[in-house]
C-alpha cells in the first residue's frame, strides 16, 4: 500500500483545493491511499529560535511528510503567489538544516482557483520552491484548474467528487505517475544524483 499525504494550501473551511484533494481517493490507482493533512494553520510563523524546542504542530507535519511515500500539494493563488500559510509549511518541513523532509520526496503539485487562469502563477512558484528544496517533482500534465467550483460535486454520501471528465482524467494520470515514482524509487535516485553532483564540485 502506497501512503500519499495531501496538503491543501488553503485553510478556508469551504476550500476548493481541500475539496479537490478529498476527491482524489476515487481516482487513485489500486493500492494507493491518500490522506489529507489537517493543521497547517496551527504552525507558528517560522522562527529559527523555536528550533531548540520544536512545537508539536511542527513535529506532526514533519513526521507526516517523512512517513508518506509521496506528497500531493494543491494550492490556490493569492496575489499571484502561493498563500503564506503554505510557504510556512514548506519552510518548517525543510528544517533543521541538512534534515529536510522534502529531500528526495516524490511530490505532485497542482493549483485550483475560481478564476479563469486556475492559479497558474502560484503553481509556477510552488514547483520552483519544491525544486529548491530538492524534492523529486513528479511531472505529468500541468494541472491548473480554472473555475474549479464548477468542476466539483458530491456523491450520495456527501463525499467530494470531480464532475469534469477532462480534469478527472488529468488527475488520474498524475496519480499514476506518482505511483510510478514511488515504485521505481525515483526520489532516492534523485538524491543520489544530487549527491554525486555535489561531490564532483569538491573535486
What are the cell numbers at 64?
A: 507526516
The answer to whether the beta carbons of residues 186 and 105 sit under 8 Å apart is no
What are the cell numbers at 133?
A: 528544496
**φ and ψ at residue 61, rounded to 5 degrees:** -65, -50
Judged against a pLDDT cut of 90, whether residue 125 lies above it is answered with yes
Judged against a pLDDT cut of 80, whether residue 195 lies above it is answered with no
Residues 6+ away with beta carbon under 8 Å from 59: none
What are the cell numbers at 62?
A: 514533519
pTM for this model (two decimals): 0.93
- How buried is residue 171: exposed, middle or buried, by Cβ count under 10 Å (0-12/13-18/19+)? buried
Measure the CA–CA gap between 110 and 171, rounded to whole angstroms: 9
Query: What are the CA-CA distances from residue 130 to residues 50, 97, 105, 198 (Å)?
Result: 23, 16, 10, 18
Q: What is the pLDDT of residue 198?
A: 66
Q: How many residues are there in the chain?
A: 203
Neighbour tally for 101: CB within 10 Å: 22
Rg of the chain in Å (alpha carbons): 17
pLDDT digits (tens, 9 = 90+) for 38-63: 999 999 999 999 999 999 999 999 99
pLDDT band for position 71 (cuts 50, 70, 90)? very high
pLDDT digits (tens, 9 = 90+) for 151-169: 999 887 778 899 999 999 9
The answer to whether the beta carbons of residues 17 and 85 sit under 8 Å apart is no
Judged against a pLDDT cut of 70, whether residue 145 lies above it is answered with yes
List of domains in the chain: 2-201 (3.40.50.360)
Place of cell 520526496: 105
Q: What is the pLDDT of residue 203?
A: 62
Q: How far is CA 73 from the centre of its chain?
A: 2
Amino acid at each position: 500500500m502506497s501512503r500519499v499525504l495531501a496538503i491543501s494550501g488553503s485553510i478556508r473551511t469551504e476550500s476548493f483545493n481541500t475539496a479537490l484533494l478529498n476527491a482524489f481517493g476515487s481516482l487513485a490507482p489500486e493500492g494507493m491511499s491518500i490522506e489529507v493533512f489537517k493543521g497547517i494553520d496551527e504552525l507558528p510563523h517560522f522562527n529559527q529560535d523555536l528550533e531548540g524546542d520544536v512545537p508539536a504542530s511542527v513535529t506532526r507535519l514533519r513526521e507526516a511528510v517523512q512517513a508518506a511515500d509521496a506528497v500531493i500539494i494543491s494550492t490556490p493563488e493569492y496575489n499571484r503567489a502561493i498563500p503564506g500559510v503554505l510557504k510556512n509549511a514548506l519552510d518548517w518541513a525543510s528544517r533543521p538544516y541538512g534534515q529536510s523532509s522534502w529531500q528526495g520526496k516524490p511530490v505532485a503539485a497542482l493549483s485550483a482557483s475560481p478564476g479563469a487562469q486556475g492559479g497558474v502563477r502560484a503553481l509556477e512558484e510552488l514547483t520552483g520552491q519544491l525544486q529548491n528544496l530538492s524534492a523529486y517533482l513528479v511531472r505529468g500534465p500541468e494541472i491548473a484548474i480554472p473555475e474549479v467550483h464548477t468542476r466539483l460535486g458530491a456523491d450520495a454520501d456527501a463525499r467530494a467528487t470531480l464532475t469534469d471528465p477532462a480534469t478527472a482524467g488529468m488527475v488520474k494520470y498524475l496519480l499514476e505517475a506518482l505511483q510510478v515514482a514511488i515504485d521505481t524509487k525515483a526520489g532516492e535516485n534523485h538524491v543520489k544524483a544530487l549527491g554525486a553532483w555535489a561531490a564532483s564540485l569538491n573535486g
